[in-house]
């Protein structure tokens, strides 16, 4: 008897990155094992903002309803308040996560989904259990210790934490989704840029009925601005809704240059009472933890057959709610590529596009989240709470009928508006575009952004971009363009006059042994553009063609019908698949 077993993909970590990787791979029929050192999934509700792109990926997996059923609905997410305490004076409000009527139009126009608030404690079990029902083998209480890789695979050495016994798992590929202190990333020597432990924060999770302070301004975040709030962590004291309106998480900072505080029940209750501004509320403490703010990203995400994702390659504060979302999106990027390579439908060369596509995103989101954290400074200054604030300025002086009062009110409004870059950064959330060996450029320049690239999503079919969403009809059904693509397959889309692309897709599918879907969009065809939105968004004529990758990004675009569409498609697929 041997103390080892084999799998195609071994995933270290069952957090958002590892759980999602297992879900995607299992859905594509790829044999995988996911292991975590703990007895179950996340035990604290860290990540919660679930952005549209993540909900779209769950829609592609057929489990959007599980996400929206368990999550707090979009309409309750957005009356984000800045106050001196929940019971105290309110200083300003910003509508967040696309809930402003103007932004709601942007959000609903861009995606068939809406953001929701789903605590990590509820999301991870959905990912892992769905993966398991689709074939993943999940090993709890199992710790990754080390790995060795050779030309054919990776051998990981692991420990069963219940029995203490150690054994090997042999895999063709290994995914390091083991979080912000990733041992896998360290073991393969990923080069990292930036700094860990920039600031200190503590989380306090508790139950208390705070309805009377929040139900009239429903939000997932309430920011408390008090002297001391700007020390450490994410820039201000935060009361975060976990479940409306009786489960909460408080984030408060500590000085990183001092030893981490021991947050006992008395200290936790005092902090909660202070931020709520009411020491009569009954606080049922559920847990506390300390964590640090990081500013670090990997300059390379893989070595050989080992790929890292999630916090293992991007470590940053929770600002913008990008951590778990980006982790899940990393997994979505890699899973279809591994699936095609393992099925012999693509060359291993395809896998190099993972680094090409996701390393720039890792850097982008780390920079964005850290910038958002520091942009709280303007609000503190506007309230006279920083040393560089004008002399005599206080929270109360903003009420004065003086020129200084006018200036202060304007400064405060602008400082709160700047937080759109944290709370309504739709371009960051949805607008990722890839330039890599898995995208065939069509010779056109990247379309310019008509509005701020971080705040606004700009739809385009430029190769490398995600296919724009609009509603199409299929008989009596209304479907999104995103529903027509995905599910682990490539899709060829054309219009009336482009039927030869469909025939070409069939020929290429047969010659490459690769399933390819193809559809004509137009009147009298399987899919119709009754609203006319697709004609406005597609940026190609009727007889042009888009090849959409399994992750909904455009691989190839043709603005004409060439003489030999089969040759054109064959060339494009060969380039993308490295064949």
Q: Are 112 and 56 in contact (CB under 8 A)?
A: yes
d(CA 579, CA 574): 5
User: Under DSSP, is residue 462 helix (H, G, I), strand (E, B) or coil?
Assistant: coil
Please report, for residues 7, 49, 195, 322, 370, the alpha-carbon distance to residue 457 in angstroms, rounded to integers and kept in the order given: 40, 18, 30, 16, 21
Least gap, CB of 330 to ligand FDA (angstroms): 8
Tell me the closest approach of the beta carbon of residue 114 to ligand FDA, in angstroms: 15
* Shortest distance, position 23 Cβ to ligand FDA, whole Å: 12
Residue 172 · residue 342 · CB < 8 Å: yes
Q: In whole angstroms, how close is the CB of 53 to ligand FDA at the nearest point?
A: 11
Locate 197 and state its tokens: 């432990």
Sign of the C-alpha dihedral, residues 219, 224, 229, 235? positive
Q: Are the beta carbons of 398 and 412 closer than 8 angstroms?
A: yes
Of the pair 58, 514, the CB lying nearest ligand FDA is at: 58
- The tokens 């890789």 sit on which residue? 149
Q: How far is the CB of 131 from ligand FDA (least distance, A)?
A: 13
Measured CA to CA in angstroms, residue 449 lies from 46, 458, 567 at distances of 33, 7, 33
Q: Where are the alpha helices (DSSP H) in 12-119?
A: 16-27, 52-60, 64-70, 101-110
Minimum CB separation of residue 233 from ligand FDA in Å reads 9
Residue number with CB closer to ligand FDA (76 or 504): 76
- Using alpha carbons only, give the angle 390, 392, 397 rounded to the nearest 5 degrees: 100
| b/e code 303-319 from CB counts within 10 Å (16+ = b) | bebbbbbbbbbbbbbbb
Q: Provide, for the chain, the percentages of residues in helix, strand and coil under a 3-state DSSP scheme, each rounded to the nearest 5.
A: 35, 25, 40
Cβ nearer to ligand FDA, comparing 116 with 518: 116
Nearer to ligand FDA, 45 or 459 (CB): 45
Site of interaction with ligand FDA (CB under 6 A) = 12-18, 35-38, 46-49, 120, 143-144, 177-180, 183, 203, 251, 291, 310-312, 318, 321-325, 327
Distance of closest approach, residue 22 Cβ to ligand FDA, in angstroms: 11
Least distance to ligand FDA from the beta carbon of 275, Å? 15
CA atoms within 13 A on the CB side of 433: 21
Nearer to ligand FDA, 14 or 68 (CB): 14
Q: Is 60 within 8 Å of 491 (Cβ atoms)?
A: no
Least distance from C-beta 65 to ligand FDA, angstroms?
A: 20
Per DSSP, the residues of 115-175 read -EE--HHHHHHHHHHHHHHTT-EEE-SEEEEEEEE-SS-EEEEEEETTT--EEEEEEEEEE
- In whole angstroms, the minimum distance from the beta carbon of 16 to ligand FDA comes to 4
* Cα–Cα nearest to 250, from 197, 210, 308, 295: 210
E-assigned strand segments in 256-324? 284-298, 302-303, 306-308, 314-315
Distances (CA, A) of 269 to 81, 100, 137: 22, 34, 41
Considering the complex, state which of residue 37 and residue 525 has its C-beta at the smaller distance from ligand FDA: 37
Nearest distance in Å: CB 248, ligand FDA:
12
In the bound complex, what is the minimum distance in angstroms from residue 311's beta carbon to ligand FDA? 4
- 320 in the Ramachandran plot: left (φ > 0), alpha (ψ -120 to 50) or beta? left
> What are φ and ψ of residue 277, in 5° steps?
80, 25
Q: Which residues contact 367 (CB under 8 A, 6 or more apart)?
A: none
Burial of 122 (0-12, 13-18, 19+ CB in 10 A): buried
Considering the complex, state which of residue 144 and residue 336 has its C-beta at the smaller distance from ligand FDA: 144
Q: Smallest distance, Å, CB 331 to ligand FDA?
A: 9
Structural element, H or E, at residue 566: helix 565-577
| Nearest approach, Cβ of residue 289 and ligand FDA (Å) | 8
φ, ψ for residue 490 (rounded to 5)? -80, 150
Smallest gap from residue 353 Cβ to ligand FDA (A): 20
CA neighbor of 43 nearest in space, from 133, 134, 119, 157 = 119
């Amino acid at each position: 008897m041997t103390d080892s077993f084999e799998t195609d993909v071994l995933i270290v970590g069952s957090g958002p990155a590892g759980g999602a990787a297992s879900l995607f791979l299992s859905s594509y029929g790829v044999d995988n094992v996911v292991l975590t050192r703990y007895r179950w999934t996340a035990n604290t509700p860290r990540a919660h903002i679930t952005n549209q792109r993540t909900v779209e990926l769950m829609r592609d997996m057929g489990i959007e309803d599980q996400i929206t059923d368990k999550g707090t609905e979009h309409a309750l997410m957005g009356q984000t308040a800045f106050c001196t305490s929940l019971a105290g004076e309110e200083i300003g409000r910003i509508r967040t996560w696309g809930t402003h009527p103007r932004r709601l139009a942007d959000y609903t126009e861009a995606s068939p989904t809406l953001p929701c608030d789903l605590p990590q404690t509820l999301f991870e079990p959905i990912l892992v259990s769905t993966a398991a029902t689709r074939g993943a083998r999940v090993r709890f209480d199992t710790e990754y210790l080390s790995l060795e890789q050779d030309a054919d695979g990776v051998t990981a050495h692991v420990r069963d934490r219940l029995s203490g016994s150690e054994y090997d798992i042999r895999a063709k590929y290994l995914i390091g989704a083991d979080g912000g202190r990733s041992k896998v990333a360290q073991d393969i020597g990923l080069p990292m840029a930036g700094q860990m432990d920039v600031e200190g924060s503590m989380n306090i999770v508790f139950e208390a009925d705070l309805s009377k302070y929040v139900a009239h301004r429903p939000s997932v975040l309430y920011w408390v601005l008090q002297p001391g709030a700007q020390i450490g962590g994410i820039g201000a004291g935060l009361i975060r809704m976990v479940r409306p309106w009786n489960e909460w998480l408080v984030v408060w900072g500590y000085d990183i240059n001092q030893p981490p505080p021991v947050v006992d029940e008395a200290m936790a209750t005092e902090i909660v009472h202070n931020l709520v501004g009411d020491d009569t509320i009954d606080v049922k403490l559920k847990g506390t933890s300390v964590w640090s703010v990081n500013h670090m990203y990997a300059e390379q995400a893989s070595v050989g057959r080992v790929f890292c994702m999630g916090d293992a390659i991007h470590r940053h504060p929770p600002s913008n709610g990008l951590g778990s979302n980006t982790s899940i999106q990393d997994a979505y990027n890699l899973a279809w590529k591994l699936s095609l390579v393992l099925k012999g439908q693509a060359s291993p060369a395809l896998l190099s596009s993972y680094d090409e596509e996701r390393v720039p995103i890792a850097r982008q989101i780390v920079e964005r989240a850290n910038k958002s954290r520091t942009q709280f400074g303007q609000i503190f200054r506007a309230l006279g709470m920083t040393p560089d604030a004008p002399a005599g300025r206080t929270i109360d002086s903003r009420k004065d009928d003086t020129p200084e009062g006018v200036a202060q009110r304007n400064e405060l409004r602008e400082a709160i508006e700047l937080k759109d870059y944290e709370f309504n950064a739709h371009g960051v959330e949805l607008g990722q575009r890839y330039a890599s060996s898995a995208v065939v450029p069509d010779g056109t320049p990247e379309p310019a952004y008509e509005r701020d690239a971080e705040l606004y999503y700009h739809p385009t079919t430029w190769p490398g971009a995600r296919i724009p969403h609009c509603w199409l009809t299929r008989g009596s059904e209304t479907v999104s363009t995103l529903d027509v693509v995905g599910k682990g397959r490539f899709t060829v889309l054309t219009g009336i006059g482009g039927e030869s692309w469909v025939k070409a897709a069939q020929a290429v599918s047969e010659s490459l042994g690769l399933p390819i879907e193809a559809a004509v969009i137009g009147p009298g065809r399987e899919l119709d553009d009754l609203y006319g939105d697709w004609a406005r968004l597609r940026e190609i004529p009727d007889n042009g063609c888009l090849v959409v990758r399994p992750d909904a990004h455009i691989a190839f675009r043709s603005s004409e019908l060439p003489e030999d569409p089969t040759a054109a498609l064959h060339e494009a697929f060969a380039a993308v698949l490295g064949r």
